[in-house]
Structure formats: structure tokens, C-alpha cells
Structure 1
Amino acid sequence: MYVLITGGATGIGKAIAAEFRSIAGTDIVITGRTESALQATAAELDISYVVCDHSSPEDVSRAAQRLPADLDVIVNNAGGNAGFDKEAQTGLAGVQSAWLENYVANVLTAVLTVGELGSRINDGGRIINIGSIAAENGSGSYGAAKAAVGSWTVGLAKEFGHRGITANTIAPGYIGDTDFFKGQLTRERERDLISLTQNGRRGTPADIAAVARFLASPGAAHITGQTLHVNGGVHTTR
């Protein structure tokens, strides 16, 4: 099995890489923009890496030349709240910047990746996209971008379904041990986020990685076009 994980050097992406690394016979390549972080994770997990800015069509095409002709799993993890500090800026320029940056970082990166590599996915393969609980709770430009990821995933399920390829989104809630909040998460805010869960704990990157592994397994072959919520019960489907 050959697995590509975008944004795989840190946080959730690194945890997903480590989870798949534990499956015998699996080859993994991680991508991202920061070579030093990619090098460190690749060395730690004994996997491969390719430097790539997935918002750049040229970068994605160049990276594709270093990837094998056949893929089994694509995990679109690259993204994050690219407009974290910009929506609070005064004026429409800040609003425009936040919305465009979040769309590019979270939607376009995944669209370009599948657009370039979708034809290489083997029959019965998997496309796994990382969404967010923000898509459900009105979280500005970031939430809107992640909602777009969920909608796009449904289209992918229809596009690739005839080949037995599934496409699903994993939507994490609050996940600790990541740089999502860029050092601005206070203890009080973290307590508030944890208090909303039904199990009284924050999520971990390993929680998301375990779901990704399941979605890539034969047992998930009839699950497609879905958003799987992993948030300790903060958001439910009822």
C-alpha cells in the first residue's frame, strides 16, 4: 500500500503517518512546505518526503514527478486557519485576505492534489480529507472553507465511486498537541473547549489517525461521501 499524506510533518499529519507506518508493507510519503520539519519526521518514522506547496499548481505537478505511478491512499491534511490573525483586522482588506487564504489553504490545496494525482489512485483506493468541527459552528472563513471541503468530498465520492474508490472527510473537534492556535490558546479557553465534550477530554492527533486508518481499511469499503465527526460529542448528527 502506498500512502500520500499532505501536510504530514507535524500534528495530525505526522500522527497519521505514524499510524500508517505501523501497517506492514506500507510505503509512505509526506509533503509540506518546510523541508526541515519534513526531514525530521521522515527520519524519525523512516519514511519519504517531498517538499511541496499544495496551493501551487506548478509545485504539485513537480512533486507528482517524484511520486509513484500508483497510489492507494491520499490524505489531504494540508491546511489550517490561514486567516487566524486577519479577520480581526479593520476594513474589508483583512476580511478578503482571511477568506481567500483559508479557501486556498484548505480547499484549493486538496483540489489541486486530487486533480493531479486522482488518476493514479488504484481501484479500491481511498481519498481522506481533513475537515473540522468549524464547518458546523459558523467559524468565519475557516469554517466556511472546511464546509466546502465536506461538500467537495461528496462530489469526489460520485466521481470515483465506479472504481471502488471512497472519499470521506474526518472532522476533528479541538485537538491538542498541534500548532492550530499558534500559541494563542489560553488555559481558560482550553477548559471551555474541553467542557463542551461528553467525555471530558481534549482530542489527540492519534484519535484522528486511528479513524484515517479505519477509512483506509477493507472494513470501510462501503463508507463514502461521509463526514466522520471526531469531537468527543461536542457536535452530533442528532
Structure 2
Amino acid sequence: MPVLDHFRLDNKVALVTGASAGIGASIAQALAEAGATVACHGNSRPAEATAASIGGNAAAFQADLSSTEGAQQLFDEVTAKFGHIDILINNAGTIIRHEAVDYPFEDWQRVIQINLNSVFQLSQLVGRALIERKAPGKIVNIASLLSFQGGIRVPAYAASKGAVAQLTKALANEWAPRGIQVNAIAPGYIATDNTLPLRNDETRNRQILERIPTGRWGDPEDIAATAVFLSSPAANYITGTVLNVDGGWLAR
């Protein structure tokens, strides 16, 4: 097989959570360009625009992953339309900032539910279905630099993303013999709507760029290309890995 064919995703169905904008939308577009049929999930923001921009068989779905029932609803709706899921990209996430001494427990629970619990729930649902079908599959979780660092004023986010990294390894260990690879991407500072306030802060922007060896903010496409790789046959011998896409931030 020609080497570039190992990166094709033809005849695969991919579910991308949090695909309404930013990294998630870029991943959905890239998977479609590689040949996959993409289910685009939106939570508070619908993902119809992403699905429309992709065209073809792409479709939008909406489910509240802050609810314990949201993952099951999303899985049921996607499989009802497409029959099965071959690739799961757990991208949906949220961040709520407070001083740790004042952190409201309801905010803690919301962050943990969206960033960690729903990741496990969807992974379990997709993994179980793949095993029942005796089919190979790929799960890619979006971790964070705060899977490794503590951050400031984000204890729930740091805890959830640290747990995502460990969950990735745990699932990889169990499911590798079943032909299911589970990996994660830890993005660095990426130029999205969520980071616009940081980029507009002249002092903070300068401090961030001085720390990044490549000297630039990442683009959503940097994460999307990595997601295509980890979702493809080219990554069949990679599992349990948290791949830093951070311009060298953690190496500094």
C-alpha cells in the first residue's frame, strides 16, 4: 500500500464532540477530507454550520454532555443514523476559573462531568460496540498541557485533564488486544475564540510566545492533522500515548 494511503479514512464513521467551532470543527473537517463520514456534535452551540461546511454525508447532533444522560443520547442518535462508530474524538470540554478556596462545588461537578465523565461514558459505549462487532477502532481524547501542569485558578480543569491522560492509558491497556487504539492529544496554546482574550493581552501574549520554542501560537489545523494521523491505519501500532502538540512548550 502506498504510504499516504495509510492515512485514509474511507468508509469510516467518526464522531467528533464539541465540533461547533475551534479545534473540534477543524478536526471534523480534516477527518472528512481524509474520507470519513463525520457526526458533528454540538453542546451549547449547535454544530450545523460545521456539518454544512463539510457537506456530503456529514450530520450535526446536539446533546448536553453536562448531563449524565447526554453521552447515551448522543451515541444512540449517531448510531441510529450511521449504524456504527469507528472513530471517536472526545474533544468537548469546558473550563471554569475560580480561586481554589472559593471554587463552587457545582462548578467542579460540571467541569468533571463534561471533561472526564462524558469522555469515559462515550469511550465505554463506542468501545463496547466495537468489541461486539469485532471491529477495529480508534479513540482520540483531547487532553491538555494541564494534564502535566497544575495551572492557576483551574483546579477542576487540571484534575479532569490529568485524569483524561490516565484514562487514555487505562483504556489502551484493556482494548489493544481487541484492535482498538486509544490515544490523546495535549494541545498547547492554540489560536481559537477561547484564547482570544490572552492573545489580545499584550503582556500575556508576549510572555506566552517567549516560552514557546517555535515562537508562535498553534493553529487548530495543527491539532486536526494530528487527529487524522491517530485515527488512521498509520497509527495502528500507537496506543496509550499522550502526544503533545505544543510548539515545544513542555520541553522548555
Retained in 2: the 8 A contact 1:55–1:112?
no
Q: Could you say which residue in structure 1 is the equivalent of 2:9?
A: none
- Matched with 1:77 is 91
Is 1:146 the counterpart of 2:161? The answer is yes
Q: Does 1:58 align with 2:69?
A: yes
Q: C-alpha separation between the residues in 2 aligned to 1:32 and 1:111?
A: 18
- Local SS of the residue matching 1:65: helix
Residues 112 and 43 of structure 1: CA distance in aligned 2, closer, same or farther (over 3 Å): same
Q: Which amino acid aligns with 1:33?
A: N
TM-score, structure 1 normalization:
0.88
Distance 1:28 1:120 in 2: 18
Paired residue for 2:6? Answer: none
Q: Residues 166-216 of structure 1: CA distance to partner in whole angstroms, max 9, x if unpaired?
A: 00110001001232x474652321221121111111111100001000101
Q: Report deviation, 1:134.
A: 1.4
1:71 CA displacement: 1.5
Counterparts in 2 of 1:91-106, with a 5 A limit? 91-92=101-102, 94-106=103-115
The answer as to 2:36 corresponding to 1:21 is no
Per the alignment, residue 143 of structure 2 pairs with 131
The one-letter amino acid of 2:117's match is L
May I ask how many residue pairs the two structures share in their alignment? Answer: 229
Take 1:174 and 1:113, find their aligned partners in 2: how far apart are those partners? Answer: 26
The one-letter code matched in structure 2 to 1:66 is: E
* Alpha carbons 1:54, 1:112 under 8 Å: kept: no
Distance 1:59 1:152 in 2: 20
99, 112, 120: which is aligned to 2:121? 112
Q: Which residue of 1 aligns with 2:50?
A: 41
Question: Retained in 1: the 8 A contact 2:111–2:160?
Answer: yes
d(CA) in 1 for partners of 2:44 and 2:156? 24
**RMSD between aligned residues:** 2.0
Residue in structure 2 matched with residue 226 of structure 1 by the alignment: 241
Structure 2 Cα separation of the partners of residues 222 and 55 of structure 1: 33
SS of the residue corresponding to residue 123 of structure 2 reads helix
Deviation, structure 1 residue 42: 1.5
Given the superposition, is the C-alpha separation of residues 102 and 60 from structure 1 closer, same or farther in structure 2, using an over 3 Å criterion?
closer
In the aligned structure 2, how far is the partner of 1:125 from the partner of 1:16?
17
What residue ranges of structure 1 are gaps of 5+ in the alignment?
none
Counterpart-to-counterpart distance in 1, 2:196 and 2:156: 17
Greater helix proportion = 2
Give the structure 1 partner of residue 4 of structure 2: none
Structure 1 residues 64 and 105: CA distance shift in structure 2, 3 A: closer
CA offsets, 1:28-49, max 9 Å, x none? 00112235x3122211222211
Q: Could you state the TM-score of these two structures normalised by the residue count of structure 2? A: 0.84
